[in-house]
């Protein structure tokens, strides 16, 4: 089966991405040619299957030491796999195709917990990561081979298992004359800084900190569950960020950690958001001020990351934003205000849907797996060597 796919001049691959924002599953149907750094991609179709509020809250529980348990993780591993399969099937229908047209499905899975560094206080908490959404369930449901569970391979060779998308960013967006920072703003923010005409080993990539995660949690809490995100940044725009609070939040030790570094809900999850909401309410901030303060925190964390780790080592002309944060006009304006010497734009302006980019990346990863070609960027994850990420589940 794999040999037949490799022999084809191109392959149709469904990339499935469900991120730390817990907003749903992105499904991209991608035509892929070649492999490795010479891979060519064409996005044919894209759809998003949103998580409902009940599922989103259950996933937040799983991402919490206080509310999770093994039974919930076990059940959700299969439940989310069905959601992922549903998203793949919906993408095929909306594209006017059938599963017979699809060669491969590549799934990131849903991250539940991530331990980029071992816990010195507990010998059992070694470097590790957990993404759920069982591959065999997706394969049997769709009748297609499925590649997934990517992050573990990079961690097995000494990396942090994240960020992974910078490998695809280098292939899709490197420019001979312009230094670019590809900034994804999902639940967590992560960046890939690519120097003009640069080589893969020159890419600087890491998690900048919280992206939409804290903003979304504040909106959900302050609206009594009526809203799950700040549409266009409208709520934040009505308030004024408390710069003193922002400065206090920026004292979090994550922002002074050396590279490589990655983070997630373990540090910037629901409990962290609720702690600061309480602090801001005590200070008398309005709801709009609170949302605006969290938005400013994300903007400052991104700008400081560039000043500390990127701008001292390369010239950057453009900051190219993708993910849900690309639609938050208030957030983008704040980032632009903090970085006046760079142009802030989105991947849409470069011909790639800002919502689809990560799903396209995982289609690219799945294609490299087929060819036995490494699909990591050691300069991003901190691994000493590049490796072939992914595990295969067959439909038969």
Provide the pLDDT confidence category of residue 396 given band limits of 50, 70 and 90. confident
Average pLDDT over residues 248-256: 98
Alpha-carbon distance of 154 to 187, in angstroms, equals: 21
Token pair 């995660």: residue: 213
CATH superfamily of 2-162+356-393: ATPase, nucleotide binding domain (3.30.420.40)
Predicted confidence (pLDDT) per residue in 204-251, tens digit: 999 999 999 999 999 999 999 999 999 999 999 999 999 999 999 999
pLDDT digits (tens, 9 = 90+) for 4-26: 999 999 999 999 999 888 889 99
- Quote the pLDDT of residue 20: 83
Percent over 70 (pLDDT), the chain: 100
Position 2 scores a pLDDT of 87
Nearest to 64 by CA among 244, 224, 217, 191: 217
Structure tokens at 317: 């002309």
The pLDDT, as a whole number, for residue 21 is 83
Place domain 166-350 in its CATH homologous superfamily.
Answer: ATPase, nucleotide binding domain (3.30.420.40)
The reply, when asked if residue 22 is annotated as ligand binding, is yes
Binding residue per annotation — 230? no
Exposure of 163 by Cβ count < 10 A (0-12 exposed, 13-18 middle, 19+ buried)? buried
Average pLDDT, the chain: 96
Residue 292's pLDDT is what? 98
44-88 pLDDT tens trace: 999 999 999 999 999 999 999 889 999 999 999 999 999 999 999
How much is the pTM?
Answer: 0.93
> Would the annotation count 19 as a binding residue?
yes
Q: Residue 345: which H helix or E strand, with range?
A: strand 343-346
The pLDDT score that the predictor gives to residue 254 is 98
Domain 166-350 in the same topology as domain 2-162+356-393: yes
122 known member of a binding site:
no
Annotated domain spans of the chain: 2-162+356-393, 166-350
Q: How confident is the model at residue 1 (pLDDT cuts 50, 70, 90)?
A: confident
The Cα 309–Cα 293 span in angstroms is 24
Query: Quick one: average pLDDT of 166-186?
Result: 97
Is 246 labeled as ligand-binding? no
203 annotated as ligand-binding = no
d(CA 34, CA 214): 39
Separation CA 81–CA 208 (nearest Å):
29
Instruction: Say if residue 24 carries a ligand binding annotation.
Output: yes
Q: How many CA atoms lie within 13 A of 354 on its CB side?
A: 20
Give the pair of three-digit tokens for residue 89.
Answer: 């099937």
**CA distance linking residue 253 with residue 266, whole number of Å:** 14
**For 294, phi and psi rounded to 5 degrees?**
-65, -40
**Per-residue pLDDT reduced to its tens digit, 261-306:** 999 989 999 999 999 999 999 999 999 999 999 999 999 999 999 9
DSSP state of 127: S
| 25 annotated among ligand-binding-site residues | yes
């Amino acid at each position: 089966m794999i040999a037949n796919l490799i022999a084809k001049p191109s392959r149709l691959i469904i990339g499935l991405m469900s991120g730390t924002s817990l907003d749903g599953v992105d499904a991209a149907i991608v035509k892929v040619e070649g492999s490795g750094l010479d891979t060519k991609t064409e996005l044919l179709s894209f759809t998003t299957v949103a998580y409902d509020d009940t599922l989103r809250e259950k996933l937040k529980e799983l991402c919490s030491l206080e509310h999770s348990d093994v039974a919930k993780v076990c059940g959700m591993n299969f439940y989310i796999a069905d959601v992922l399969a549903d998203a793949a099937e919906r993408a095929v229908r909306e594209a006017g195709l059938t599963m017979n047209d699809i060669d491969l499905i590549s799934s990131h899975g849903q991250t539940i917990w991530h331990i980029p560094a071992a816990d010195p206080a507990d010998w059992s908490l070694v470097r590790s990561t957990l993404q759920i959404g069982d591959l065999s369930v997706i394969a049997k449901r769709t009748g297609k081979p499925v590649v997934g569970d990517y992050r573990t391979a990079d961690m097995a060779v000494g990396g942090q298992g994240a960020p992974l998308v910078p490998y695809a960013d280098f292939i899709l967006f490197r420019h001979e004359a312009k230094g670019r920072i590809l900034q994804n703003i999902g639940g967590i923010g992560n960046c890939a800084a690519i120097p003009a005409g640069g080589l893969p080993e020159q890419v600087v990539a890491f998690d900048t900190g919280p992206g939409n995660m804290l903003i979304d949690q504040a909106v959900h809490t302050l609206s009594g569950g009526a809203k799950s995100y700040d549409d266009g940044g409208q709520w934040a725009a009505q308030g004024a960020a408390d710069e003193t609070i922002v400065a206090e939040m920026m004292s979090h030790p994550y922002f002074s950690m050396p590279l490589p570094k990655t983070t997630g809900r373990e540090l910037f999850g629901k409990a962290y958001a609720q702690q600061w909401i309480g602090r801001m309410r005590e200070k008398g901030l309005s709801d709009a001020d609170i949302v605006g303060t969290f938005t400013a925190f994300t903007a400052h964390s991104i700008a400081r990351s560039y000043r500390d780790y990127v701008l001292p080592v390369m010239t950057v002309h453009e900051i190219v934003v993708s993910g849900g944060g690309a639609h938050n006009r208030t957030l983008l304006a704040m980032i632009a205000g903090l970085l006046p010497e760079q142009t802030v734009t989105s991947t849409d302006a470069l011909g790639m849907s800002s919502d689809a980019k990560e799903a396209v990346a995982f289609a690219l990863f799945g294609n490299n797996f087929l060819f036995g070609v490494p699909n990591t960027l050691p300069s991003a994850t901190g691994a000493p060597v590049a490796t072939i990420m992914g595990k295969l589940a067959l439909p038969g």
